[in-house]
Amino acid sequence: MSSKLEKADRVDTLRRVSFFSHLADETLQSLAEAAISKSWGKGEIIFSEGMPCPGLFVVHSGAVKIFKTSLKGREQVLTIETAGRAVAELAVLDEGPYPASAMAMNEATTMLLILKQDFHNVCRRHPEIGFRIIKALEGVSAS
């Protein structure tokens, strides 16, 4: 489902992401311009484990459940991401498939999608983003 967000709203959402928060306004404006906004209804699958990763998702509104499903169909919730949180940063960096699935938990969950090429370009211009992502992922694995 497509959703149109104003550029200022996209910039504000991107600024909340820990590894983008230090970027200059012009860089955030450029990223926001490239970001695609999409919305899902409660219970809709955003992506499934094993699918190719087109880019980095950032939650604008609502909540997203990240989970894995066992062969017997049992679901293990890995995390719940809310506004200002990035989703699939590892998959976009290692260029592998999604390691887990994502589902919208609220009506009108809206996310920004920064395509892989756009994300990689900003990382090349601002290599400190990579270090900030590693630091953010360390915090997740320590929990």
**Residue 1: inside a domain, yes or no?**
no
User: What does pTM read for this prediction?
Assistant: 0.86
User: Helix 116-125 vs helix 25-34: angle between axes, to the nearest 10 degrees?
Assistant: 170
Question: Is the predicted pLDDT of residue 1 greater than 70, yes or no?
Answer: no
pLDDT digits (tens, 9 = 90+) for 29-82: 989 999 999 999 999 999 999 999 999 999 999 999 999 998 898 999 999 999
* Structural domain boundaries enclosing 12: 7-142
**Residue 120: inside a domain, yes or no?**
yes
**Residue 125: inside a domain, yes or no?**
yes
Give the β-pairing of 86-87 and 109-115.
unpaired
Give the total number of structural domains in the chain: 1
Residue 126: give its domain's CATH number: 2.60.120.10
β-partners of residue 115 are 55
